[in-house]
């Protein structure tokens, strides 16, 4: 959008041509809306700031000496209004106001421009920037899209072009760090899940630094996402302006001025404002571009609704709660696994006769329940506590690593699959030397490991993706979830048998309360699905696969469908 192409329209508007004024406002409103929308990330104040910006532009158009500089002049007014608004309000107040607000500008950009892949990632990363960086991004985004020049960007910020180059470079570095956070949050790193356990979902600079620090020190997160990360400027080139929302209305009120007062202040000659205000005292006139000048001093631009707006997906950084399903529980459906994954197709679990006793039932392959299906009640077995040779948090990443669990209580085994290092056949861990009883009581963590983990790569699950390959359990093996819960009454040793695909296990003694809290946290809380309760409270509760009372020289030789 070049201001020079509008010279004749601007000159006509300055001379009091209502139709030219209408065309000017309607033509440049999208640019102002995009700058303000990105700078404020879609906050409820966007409309007010846009209104104030256009009012000031219309009211001061007569002072513009060079119509060719209209664009840089308008952008400078816009940025001044954004900064004035920032000075009037505190960050805490803004958060309180936006707690239940509408969709942010990143969502609108994704929806309206149909951004996918890394372009979508850049839009979502904008949420993590500070106010000053987001203001600069609102201009730089338009610069690389061809809507602004670097000279206009620098003038709008009020600095030299050299200083603008430094500021833009620093903002881009923080934007790239934020893109890494977006990718990591889409990934399957269990340590990151722990790190964000107390995060309220609001992106801010404190959490940006904290998560960036985790990513720098985490091989899993650092290697997640796209194999080749395209620079943001290459992704944004040629992207159009986000269109105005359906039903957006602009009302420019000129206060208590009258045509007589405006003319009087101008002396012998009638100023441009006076001419406009003189026109505003006439009856309302419908104009061709969908704008209306209303008697009494209001200029209204209305974009009528054509189609109902599509629903906006909830942002990656802040899931919105939704009411749980109250209808009859849906029938189980297969997990939304990527079609490219070579994981075996699950088969329904066999019916278990009531008379079967402990030691004759192992995990049977089942399908993933419907994501919104709440789990059955979790029986509360006696707890005296578990002693672990690995301590409160044992991490096992290599073949032969093991931990011995002793006592009576609950144990969490958390999976971390690392196909980016080595994909292929997955040799499952085994439970050996069992003395007493061991049950598989529940599955949780918010997802099965074959659920999708990326909004940008449909092939990516916790088992891998089409670029790196997949970790594949043996045929007929029960698909594991992120968190698997067991009940121990006695003593048993868990051993990692890694020799094909890379994987790691984290083992925590836990409690019934923690298990219950995990499996009942589902989609309304932001997880992909509710957990699954397997415990019947009796001795016919499933026994883990690959379990034996023996202690073989090679734990990897414990047979699937083993008996105890």
What is 486-534 written as a DSSP string? EEEEEEEEEE---SSS-EEEEEEEE-HHHHHHHHT--GGGT-SS--EE-
pLDDT tens, 314-342?
A: 333 333 333 333 333 333 333 333 333 33
Residue 138: closest CA among 231, 53, 38: 38
* Mean pLDDT, residues 141-152: 86
203 CB neighbour count, 10 Å cutoff: 26
**Is residue 124 within 8 Å of 41, Cβ to Cβ?**
no
What is the distance between the alpha carbons of residues 346 and 485, in angstroms, rounded to a whole number?
20
Per-residue confidence (pLDDT) for residue 218, from 0 to 100: 82
Q: What would the pLDDT profile of 85-95 be if each residue is shown by its tens digit?
A: 877 765 444 44
Please state, in angstroms and rounded to a whole number, the distance separating the CA atoms of residues 376 and 399: 35
Spatial separation of the C-alpha atoms in residues 423 and 419, rounded to whole Å: 4
- The model's pLDDT over 505-543, given as tens digits with 9 standing for 90+, comes to 989 899 999 999 999 988 888 788 999 999 999 998 999
Q: What percent of the chain has pLDDT over 70?
A: 74
Neighbours of 471 (CB within 10 A): 27
Map residue 102 onto helix, strand or coil. Answer: coil
pLDDT at 414 over 80: yes
pLDDT at 412: 95
Instruction: Supply the pLDDT for residue 187.
Output: 74
Nearest to 21 by CA among 387, 352, 260, 291: 291
Bigger pLDDT: 423 vs 291: 423
Nearest to 465 by CA among 183, 235, 193: 183
Q: What is the mean pLDDT of the chain?
A: 76
Residue 171 confidence (pLDDT): 92
Burial of 474 (0-12, 13-18, 19+ CB in 10 A): middle
Structure-model confidence comparison of residues 64 and 259, the more confident one: 64
pTM above 0.85, yes or no: no
Cα 494 to its chain centre, rounded Å, is 36
Cα gap 28→26, rounded to integer Å: 6
Write out pLDDT tens, residues 452-499.
888 788 898 889 888 888 999 998 899 999 999 999 999 999 999 988
Burial of 542 (0-12, 13-18, 19+ CB in 10 A): buried
Average pLDDT on 427-444 reads 95
What are the two backbone dihedrals, phi and then psi, of residue 43, each rounded to the nearest 5 degrees?
A: -60, 160
Contacts of 10 (CB under 8 A, 6+ apart): 3, 20, 24, 61, 64, 67, 70
**SS3 track for 408-473:** EEEEEEEEEECCCCCCEECCCCEEEEEEEEEEEEEEEEEEECCCECCCCCCCCECCEECCCEEEEC
Span 13-41, pLDDT tens digits: 888 888 888 888 888 888 999 999 888 88
Say if residue 409's pLDDT is above 70: yes
CA-angle at 132, arms to 128 and 134, nearest 5°:
45
**Interaxial angle between packed helices 131-144 and 18-40, expressed in degrees from 0 to 180 and rounded to the nearest 10:** 130
Confidence of residue 206 (pLDDT cuts 50, 70, 90): confident
Q: What is the pLDDT of residue 222?
A: 67
Alpha helix positions (H), 89-216: 91-98, 105-112, 117-125, 131-144, 150-157, 161-185, 190-195, 205-216
Backbone angles phi, psi at 468, to 5 degrees: -100, -20
Higher-pLDDT residue of 337 and 103 is 103
**Contact yes or no for 352/509 (Cβ under 8 A):** no
Most confident of the following: 77-91, 157-171, 291-305: 157-171
């Amino acid at each position: 959008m070049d201001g020079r192409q509008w010279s004749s329209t601007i000159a006509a508007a300055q001379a009091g041509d209502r139709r030219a004024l209408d065309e000017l406002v309607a033509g440049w409103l999208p640019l102002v809306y995009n700058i303000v929308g990105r700078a404020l990330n879609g906050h409820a104040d966007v409309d007010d700031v846009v209104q104030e910006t256009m009012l000031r532009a219309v009211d001061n158009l007569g002072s513009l000496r060079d119509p060719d500089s209209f664009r840089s002049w308008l952008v400078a007014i816009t940025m001044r209004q954004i900064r004035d608004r920032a000075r009037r309000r505190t960050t805490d107040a803004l958060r309180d106001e936006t707690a239940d607000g509408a969709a942010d500008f990143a969502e609108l950009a994704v929806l309206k421009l149909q951004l996918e892949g890394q372009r979508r990632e850049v839009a979502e990363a904008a949420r993590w920037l500070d106010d000053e960086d987001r203001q600069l991004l609102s201009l730089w985004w338009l610069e690389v899209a061809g809507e602004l020049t670097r000279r206009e960007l620098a003038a709008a910020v009020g600095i030299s072009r050299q200083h603008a180059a430094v500021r833009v470079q620093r903002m881009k570095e923080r934007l790239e760090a934020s893109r890494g956070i977006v990718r990591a949050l889409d990934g399957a790193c269990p340590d990151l899940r722990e790190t964000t356990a107390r995060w309220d979902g609001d992106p801010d600079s404190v959490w940006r630094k904290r998560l960036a620090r985790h990513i720098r020190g985490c091989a899993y997160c650092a290697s997640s996402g796209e194999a080749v990360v395209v620079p943001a400027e290459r992704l944004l080139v040629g992207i159009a302006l986000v269109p105005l929302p359906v039903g957006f209305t602009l009302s420019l009120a000129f206060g208590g001025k009258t045509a007589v007062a405006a003319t009087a202040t101008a002396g012998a000659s009638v100023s441009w404002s006076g001419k406009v205000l003189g026109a505003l005292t006439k009856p309302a006139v419908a104009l061709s571009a969908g704008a209306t000048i209303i008697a009494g001093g209001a200029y209204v631009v209305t974009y009528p609704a054509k189609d109902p707006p599509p629903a906006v997906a909830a942002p990656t950084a802040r899931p919105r709660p939704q009411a749980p399903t109250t209808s009859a529980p849906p029938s189980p459906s297969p997990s939304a696994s990527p079609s490219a994954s070579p994981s075996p197709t699950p088969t329904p679990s066999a019916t278990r006769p009531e008379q079967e006793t402990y030691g004759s039932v192992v995990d049977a392959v089942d399908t993933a329940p419907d994501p919104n299906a709440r789990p059955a009640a979790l029986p509360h077995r006696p707890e005296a506590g578990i002693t672990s040779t690995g301590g409160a948090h044992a991490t096992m990443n290599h073949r032969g690593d093991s931990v011995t669990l002793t006592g009576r209580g609950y144990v969490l085994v958390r999976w971390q699959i690392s196909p980016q290092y080595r994909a292929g056949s997955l040799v499952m861990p085994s439970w050996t030397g069992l003395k007493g009883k061991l049950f598989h009581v529940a599955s949780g963590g918010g997802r099965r490991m074959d659920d999708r983990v990326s909004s940008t790569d449909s092939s990516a699950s916790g088992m891998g993706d089409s670029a790196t390959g997949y970790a594949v359990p043996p045929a007929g093996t029960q698909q594991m979830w992120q968190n698997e819960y067991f009940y121990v009454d006695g003593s048993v040793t868990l051993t990692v048998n890694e020799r094909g695909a890379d994987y790691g296990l984290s083992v925590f003694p836990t409690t019934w309360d923690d298990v219950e809290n995990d499996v009942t946290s589902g989609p309304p809380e932001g997880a992909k699905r509710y957990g699954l309760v397997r415990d019947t409270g009796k001795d016919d509760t499933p026994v883990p696969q690959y379990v034996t009372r023996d202690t073989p020289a090679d734990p990897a030789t414990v047979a699937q469908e083993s008996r105890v």
